[in-house]
């Protein structure tokens, strides 16, 4: 899904997920925060396009890094082609991951992951896991990878809390309706 980037609701995301012509086999969901833009910097589509330009023109990647970006208002922005390996935690570990960026800086003293944004984080994670028959634990935080010193997705985001929410998230009715 190259540009133009499109804003999706949770139901629209679920619909595209179920109807997508997948040939990638997803084994894991990877969670990041953007750090920049933080919440106060977020400008809707302009922010997604700015990330795209940064990733492609400055970093020399073949597309925006992430499969989707989750905005402070809970909107799910499309990103790179979902069948393409994301620029996620690095190297061979990127393969077979579905990767999202949570827009904000969730390190201590900055933004808070809550409300509609947190709901979409949980929803996207569970929906992708359901689509590929994965358990709630199939979620990697960037900082889980030993080769990074990053705090990503932010020191205030607790892995156990997110996994518990994912476990309790019922996406079944949304997904079945769209099948």
Using CB under 5 A, list all residues that contact Zn ion. 32, 142, 152
* Size of the chain, expressed as the number of residues it contains: 179
Nearer to Zn ion, 28 or 32 (CB): 32
Nearer to Zn ion, 70 or 152 (CB): 152
Least distance (Å) from Zn ion to the CB of residue 21?
28
Q: Ramachandran region of residue 47, left (φ > 0), alpha (ψ -120 to 50) or beta?
A: alpha
Least distance (Å) from Zn ion to the CB of residue 126?
20
Give every CB contact of residue 157 below 8 A, 6+ residues apart in sequence: 31, 33, 106, 113, 141
Least distance (Å) from Zn ion to the CB of residue 88?
8
Give every CB contact of residue 93 below 8 A, 6+ residues apart in sequence: 145
What is the DSSP-derived secondary structure letter of residue 171? -
Nearer to Zn ion, 8 or 157 (CB): 157
């Amino acid at each position: 899904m190259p540009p133009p980037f499109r804003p999706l609701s949770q139901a629209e995301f679920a619909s595209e997920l179920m109807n997508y012509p997948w040939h990638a086999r997803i084994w894991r969901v990877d969670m990041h925060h953007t750090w920049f833009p933080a919440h106060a910097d977020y400008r809707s589509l302009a922010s997604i396009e700015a990330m795209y330009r940064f990733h492609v023109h400055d970093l020399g990647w073949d597309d925006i890094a992430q499969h989707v970006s989750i905005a402070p208002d809970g909107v799910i922005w499309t990103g790179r082609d979902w069948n393409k390996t994301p620029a996620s935690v690095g190297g061979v570990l990127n393969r077979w991951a579905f990767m999202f960026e949570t827009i904000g800086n969730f390190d201590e003293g900055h933004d808070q992951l809550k409300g509609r944004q947190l709901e979409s984080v949980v929803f996207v994670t569970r929906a992708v896991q359901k689509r590929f028959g994965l358990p709630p634990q199939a979620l990697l935080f960037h900082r889980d990878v030993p080769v990074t010193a990053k705090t990503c997705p932010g020191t205030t985001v607790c892995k156990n809390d997110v996994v518990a929410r994912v476990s309790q998230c019922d996406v079944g009715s949304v997904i079945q309706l769209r099948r």
